[in-house]
């Protein structure tokens, strides 16, 4: 299994370098630590990767000219799913889309409701929790106290406007 982390934007120069952007900004630190990427199911060895403007310049072993690099335009690069999941867990990165249907409890372990939807606001995600009434919970450190992926429970610090 593979986890997509970057999109190839275009060739860079004539020696087979490619410009790429992380699919999500939180993936950037993961990109620079990789020795291999997967393109579809092909394992590609990294020669080097370096920061460049808002993205990265990547040189893959065996991609040595602009024409071959051009064929990769708009493709996604992936890493092994286990590497990605270990990184996300270590960094405390969650994908809120997976939380729909999770139970929500408050700081005193009392049931609050169930996550029905996620609002993507740009600044941060917001959980739509349906219980006795609908509440909105920003996905920020002040409000998300714990996420138990196994039990599918999110523990929150209840927003003041709902107390």
Q: What's the number of domains the chain is made of? A: 2
**Do 74 and 124 have their domain in common?**
no
Half-sphere exposure of 88 (CA within 13 A, CB side): 19
**Domain harbouring 63, CATH code:** 2.40.30.60
> What's the pLDDT band for 155 if we cut at 50, 70, 90?
very high
- Asked if 105 and 82 sit in the same domain, the reply is no
* Percentage of residues in the chain having pLDDT higher than 90: 70
Q: How far apart are CA 45 and CA 68, in angstroms?
A: 15
First to last CA, the chain: 43
When the pLDDT of each residue in the chain is averaged and rounded to a whole number, the result is 91
Based on the fold, state whether residues 8 and 86 are members of the same structural domain.
Answer: yes
Say yes or no: 76 and 7 in one domain: yes
Neighbours of 67 (CB within 10 A): 10
Domain span holding position 153 = 96-162
- Among 67, 91, 115, identify where a domain stops: 91
In this structure, are 13 and 80 located in the same domain?
yes
Q: How far apart are CA 10 and CA 69, in angstroms?
A: 7
Q: What is the mean pLDDT of residues 127-137?
A: 94
Instruction: Tell me how far apart the alpha carbons of residues 50 and 48 are, in angstroms, rounded to a whole number.
Output: 7
Average pLDDT over residues 95-114: 92
Same-domain check for residues 86 and 59: yes
109 with 39, same domain: the answer is no
Could you read off the pLDDT of 24-69 as tens digits, one per residue?
888 899 999 999 999 988 999 999 999 998 899 999 999 999 999 9
17 and 65 inside one domain: yes
pLDDT (tens digit, 9 = 90+) per residue, 9-29? 999 999 999 999 998 888 899
Looking at 91, 106, 123, the residue that finishes a domain is 91
How large is the average pLDDT for residues 131-142?
Answer: 92
pTM: 0.65
Task: Please tell me whether residues 80 and 103 are part of one structural domain.
Answer: no
User: Which of 136, 141, 139 has the alpha carbon at shortest distance from 161?
Assistant: 136
């Amino acid at each position: 299994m593979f986890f997509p982390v970057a999109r190839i934007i275009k060739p860079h120069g004539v020696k087979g370098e490619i410009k790429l952007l992380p699919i999500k900004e939180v993936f950037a630190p993961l990109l620079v630590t990789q020795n291999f990427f997967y393109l579809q199911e092909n394992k590609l060895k990294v020669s080097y990767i370096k920061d460049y403007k808002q993205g990265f310049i990547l040189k893959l072993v065996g991609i040595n000219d602009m024409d071959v690099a051009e064929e990769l335009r708009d493709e996604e690069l992936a890493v092994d799913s286990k590497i990605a999941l270990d990184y996300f867990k270590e960094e405390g990165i969650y994908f809120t889309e997976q939380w729909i249907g999770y139970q929500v409890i408050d700081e005193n372990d009392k049931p609050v409701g169930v996550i029905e939807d996620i609002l993507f606001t740009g600044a941060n995600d917001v959980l739509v929790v349906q219980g006795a009434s609908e509440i909105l919970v920003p996905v920020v450190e002040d409000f998300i106290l714990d996420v138990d992926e196994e039990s599918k429970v999110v523990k929150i610090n209840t927003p003041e406007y709902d107390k």
